[in-house]
Chains A and B, each alone.
Chain A
């Protein structure tokens, strides 16, 4: 039983890794900074239909979680670190995001056109 579960687990991981490797090469990178529990810039414009990468730098002394319910993204960015977040190709529209640990101030939106 244990073996079967472990096998299923490994297969799941392998499938995701293979899928990652098979994906197309480097999409455009868009920098965004977290400072004083705020995003800068708070509004990001991207081309609709093209995947891109958010390069999130956290200049604060506390970790922050970049979260967008619409984009299905949740990613912790530790203090002083930079994380790359892949974002799928978007249909035209506005996609809000927040810093989950400081939701009152850390807010922004991605506008795909």
Chain B
């Protein structure tokens, strides 16, 4: 039971985390009325997962040998782009809501881009969804009495992941607005960097990118087969024996996204003109 619990908790946690963040994000920008976008994205992600599970189970042929891997890699890079975009968008809002206009976000503007939130929810659920569906399905199809513990564990894993997502949602509401934006931005960037590097790893596994020797081996310190290591590898892209392309991808993404999302923006030209030019001195 413990083993199946860990598997589904690990697979479902990322989805729960992302759902928790986007729900609380909507709440924080005063767009509670738009929750249904996230719900829609999540439900569609779940449907797509079931369909993908069915496809893998009942179809066959050369397409299935490589197809799921290509879809998985594409979904990862797509999710990276999406999370970066979402972070950038949050940053715009974070600046807009400073001061007395808190919670008075331009609803129209928010609505216009809510499909991003729906897509984040969709990819969040879909990324590991098919695997989780197949795993649970497999557990249930082994209908011996001893397997019921496994089924219970598997279902519990999903439930606990959902509860954690809910806790993140509640916690997100307690934070002050700037802190909320800062914390979630950092979290999203780390998750996205992990996804980016995992996507590169996937392409290495398929032979599209040369691997080379691992740059280091930290499996003695934290093995990525262990429970904690497995969680970190799912969430942050941790690898005990990373290769150069993965490490470079990780660092390049972190630096790039950091520059995009965390550097103080040099003010827009209009305000520049109004201020005495500080830049002229340097």
Which residues of chain A are within 8 angstroms of B137 by Cβ–Cβ distance?
63
Contact A16 B239 (CB under 8 A): no
Q: Decide if B107 is an interface residue (CB 8 Å cutoff).
A: no
Residue among A70, A75, A104 making CB contact with B69, cutoff 8 Å: A75
Interface residue ranges of A55-94 to B (CB < 8 Å) = 61-65, 69-76, 78-79, 81, 83-89, 91
What size tier do the contact residues of chain A reach?
35 or more
Q: Decide if B240 is an interface residue (CB 8 Å cutoff).
A: yes
Q: Decide if B64 is an interface residue (CB 8 Å cutoff).
A: yes
Q: Are A16 and B115 also in contact (CB < 8 A) when A69-B225, A85-B65 are? A: no
Give the complex CA separation of A87 and B70 in angstroms. Answer: 15
Contact A83 B64 (CB under 8 A): yes
Which residues of chain A are within 8 angstroms of B207 by Cβ–Cβ distance?
23, 51, 86-89
Contact B141 A62 (CB under 8 A): yes
Smallest CB gap from A103: residue in B: B3
Contact A69 B135 (CB under 8 A): no
Contact A86 B135 (CB under 8 A): no
Give the complex CA separation of A104 and B241 in angstroms. Answer: 22
Interface digits, B195-207 against A, CB 8 Å rule (1 contact, 0 not)? 0000001111111
Which residues of chain A are within 8 angstroms of B81 by Cβ–Cβ distance?
5, 8
Looking at A1, A65, A78, the one whose CB has the most chain B CB atoms below 10 A away is: A78
Give the complex CA separation of A74 and B135 in angstroms. Answer: 13
Q: Decide if B282 is an interface residue (CB 8 Å cutoff).
A: no
Residue among A8, A86, A103 making CB contact with B206, cutoff 8 Å: A86
Is the contact region of chain A dominated by helix, strand, or loop, or is it mixed? mixed
Give the complex CA separation of A79 and B60 in angstroms. Answer: 12
Give the complex CA separation of A89 and B131 in angstroms. Answer: 27
Which residues of chain A are within 8 angstroms of B183 by Cβ–Cβ distance?
none
Contact B131 A76 (CB under 8 A): yes
Stretch of B36-44, B71-79, B98-106, B158-166 with 4 or more beta carbons under 8 angstroms from chain A = B71-79
Residues of A whose CB lies within 8 Å of any CB of B are: 1-2, 5, 8-9, 12-13, 16-17, 19-20, 23, 51, 61-65, 69-76, 78-79, 81, 83-89, 91, 98, 100-101, 103-104
Between A and B, 6 residue pairs with Cβ closer than 8 Å are A9-B78, A16-B74, A17-B70, A51-B207, A98-B225, A104-B3
- What would 7 more interface pairs be, CB under 8 Å, given A19-B208, A98-B225, A101-B135? A12-B74, A16-B74, A63-B135, A72-B204, A76-B56, A76-B68, A88-B206
Residues of B whose CB lies within 8 Å of any CB of A are: 3, 7, 56-57, 60, 62, 64-66, 68-70, 72-74, 77-78, 81-82, 85, 113, 115, 119, 130-131, 134-135, 137-139, 141-142, 201-208, 211, 213, 224-225, 233, 239-241
* Across the A-B interface, the 5 shortest Cβ-Cβ residue pairs: A72-B205, A62-B138, A88-B207, A84-B65, A72-B201
